[in-house]
Amino acid sequence: MFEVIISVICVSIDGFFTGSAIGLKNTKIKLSKLIIIGLIPIIMAYPVMFFGYKISNIINNDIIKIIGFTLFLIMSINSYIEIKKDKEIKEINILTSLSIGLSIGLDSSVCAFTLALKKYDPFITPIYFGISHFILIWLGNKLFNKKINNKYIKYLCPITFLILAIFRLF
């Protein structure tokens, strides 16, 4: 059980930074969007864990890394474009919610697959992923959602997403 908890926290920690990056733009994540983000890793991890019991090497880790990198790169570029438009966004939209959910869901699925190979519970483990992402994204967004009057601080969001994209490659 300790291995599951540590794995879930390690996989979910990027959610804290994602929430923080969004908060630094003074953008809120509504509960409905947060629920979507938290449900996607659960939905994605369930089938992967069940297949993990029966099939090995179902997911090519390099492809997962590239997809995760691409999703965070798109979020970084989109965030930068919003800054250049000098457009203040009060809350994230459904497309951003889905993009975040898919990106963190891919990591959760890969981790869930490895846990499934070790015969951890495929019914409860995906729920741990969703709850952990939900809490850490919410916490990051709440802690960093402040209006900061610095002309350069607004660039932290796209930079953070770019850093997360690069980390997806390793």
CB within 8 A of 61, min separation 6: which ones? 110
- Supply the CATH number for residue 53's domain: 1.20.1250
Give me the number of domains the chain comprises. 1
If one counts every other C-beta atom within 10 angstroms of the C-beta of residue 3, the result is 11
The predicted-structure confidence for 105-133, as pLDDT tens digits, reads as follows 887 887 787 788 777 888 898 999 899 98
The predicted-structure confidence for 127-154, as pLDDT tens digits, reads as follows 998 999 899 889 888 888 766 555 666 6
The predicted-structure confidence for 24-81, as pLDDT tens digits, reads as follows 777 888 899 999 998 998 998 888 888 866 655 556 667 767 776 787 787 778 777 7
Domain housing 116? 2-168
Cα(25)–Cα(150) distance, rounded to whole angstroms? 11
What's this model's pTM, rounded to 2 decimal places?
0.70
Radius of gyration in angstroms for the set of CA atoms belonging to the chain, rounded to a whole number: 16
Per-residue exposure over 147-157, b if at least 16 CB sit within 10 Å of its own CB, e if not? eeeeeeebebb
Cα(133)–Cα(63) distance, rounded to whole angstroms? 22
